[in-house]
Amino acid sequence: MKFLKNIRPVTDSDSELIRQYKERGTIELVGQLFQRYMELIYGVCLKYLQDTNAAQDSAMGIFEELVVKLQKHEVDNFKSWLYTLTKNYCLMQLRAGKKQITVKMDEDVMQSADLLHLNGEQDKEEQLKQLEHCLGTLSKEQRLAVELFYLKGKCYQEVAAITGMDWNKVRSHIQNGRRNLKICIEKEKINTEIVIK
């Protein structure tokens, strides 16, 4: 599994690479350390997270943590320190995931099509117009979060990474956006029925 490419193999010790990184701040040095222990990192992530995509995402998150933390911490035994860092990172992901799981979501709006309750070929065009109109009524943040989550299939963490919002803000914008979208769509349906009658 290759996360980083074109990083030349080095024979310097872990301590020497860390020392050089602290002096120069060259991220390639962290990349060399990361590549050396990539299998360990990925293995620990997979053990805790039980999902290959989540393990890969977390491994890249750990790389980003290394860039920051190696500048701040004195590390005597890098392999042991890295194992602890990786384990703690995964535990934090699991805790965040549990918070996500406890968020109450309506069953009937879990998928993008379900936002509209699409129920007939001739109705779809009208319903898609309603969705487009109602998306336009949301705040910029809500619209972006809802589109990324429902229409693009991104998870909360991916939405947070793309938008620069923190996880709680993303959750709030998705929940509020979904609620406002549902209210707007219901109003549009009622207005359409009144016009038809």
- The better pLDDT of the pair 20, 195 is held by 20
pLDDT digits (tens, 9 = 90+) for 174-191: 888 888 888 887 777 666
Cα atoms in the 13 Å half-sphere on the side-chain side of 145: 26
CB proximity list for 154: less than 8 A, separation 6 or greater: 148, 162
pTM score, two decimals? Answer: 0.47
CB atoms within 10 A of CB 135: 19
Per-residue pLDDT at 191: 61
Per-residue pLDDT at 22: 92
Q: Which domains does the chain have, with CATH numbers?
A: 14-101 (1.10.1740.10), 107-196 (1.10.10.10)
Q: What's the CA gap between 134 and 185, in Å, rounded?
A: 7
- With cut-offs at 50, 70 and 90, classify the pLDDT of residue 86: very high
